[in-house]
Every structure is written in C-alpha cells, then in structure tokens.
C-alpha cells in the first residue's frame, strides 16, 4: 500500500466515523425524551457505517503499519494527524455510547445494547 492509498483508507474511516458520530449525538436526546423506537432505528442506521469500518480494518489493518516505514517525516506526521482525528472521533462516539448506556441503566429501559 502506498501513501495515497493509506490516506484514502484513513479518510474513508474518518468519514464513516463522522457519520456514526452524527447519529450518536442524537441518541441521548432520543432516550431522554422516551423515544426508544426512534433510538432503535438510529442504532440500525449506525450498523452500516460500522460494518464498512470493520471491513476496512479487516482489509487494510495489517498493511497500514508497513506504510509508515516508507514515508518522509512530513508524510508520517500528516498520517499521524489524520489518525489522531480518527481516534478523537472514535473516543467521542464511545463517550456518547457510555452516556446512553448509563442513562438506560439508570432508567431501567429495556434497550438492546449492541456495543
């Protein structure tokens, strides 16, 4: 995998996580307002980008570390910055999911939690 392919893969991961984050940002409000059916729909909408993300990780996960050995310091820094953005998105999604899970536990909602 070359640098352009690596950037493309990471940009796709970032795009998918951005989509998931948009959906995740709605979920606490849905739960707090008692709109559990809408919450379950929202979770199903998250499934497709998460499946695509998993597929990308499966397909390219082993190749990514090898890319770093062939990069200039600036290219490596650029990839690290993109990876940092991806990690920030993923961490934000986890925080929201944890908040939603905590809300569900506190309010004894019977929500199938897929995470």
What are the residue boundaries of the structural domains of the chain, listed by start? 3-106
Structure tokens, 103: 């809300």
pLDDT score at 112: 53
The CATH number of the domain covering residues in 3-106? 1.20.58
Q: What is the pTM of this model?
A: 0.83
User: Residue 10: how many CB atoms within 10 A of its CB?
Assistant: 21
Give me the helices (H) in the chain, please: 3-32, 36-60, 64-67, 73-106
Choose among 5, 20, 6, 25: nearest CA to 83: 6
Question: In a structure prediction context, what are the per-residue pLDDT tens digits for the chain, which is 115 residues long?
Answer: 778 888 999 999 999 999 999 999 998 888 888 888 898 899 999 999 999 999 998 888 777 777 767 788 888 888 899 999 999 999 999 999 999 888 878 776 555 555 4
User: Residue 3: how many CB atoms within 10 A of its CB?
Assistant: 16
């Amino acid at each position: 995998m070359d640098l352009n392919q690596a950037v493309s893969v990471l940009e796709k991961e970032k795009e998918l996580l951005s989509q998931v984050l948009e959906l995740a940002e709605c979920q606490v409000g849905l739960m707090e307002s008692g709109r559990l059916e809408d919450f379950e729909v929202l979770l199903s909408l998250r499934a497709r980008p998460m499946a695509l993300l998993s597929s990308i990780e499966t397909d390219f996960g082993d190749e990514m570390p090898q890319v770093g050995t062939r990069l200039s310091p600036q290219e490596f820094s650029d990839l690290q910055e993109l990876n940092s953005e991806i990690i920030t998105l993923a961490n934000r999604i986890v925080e929201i999911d944890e908040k939603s899970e905590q809300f569900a536990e506190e309010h004894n909602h019977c929500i199938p939690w897929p995470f």
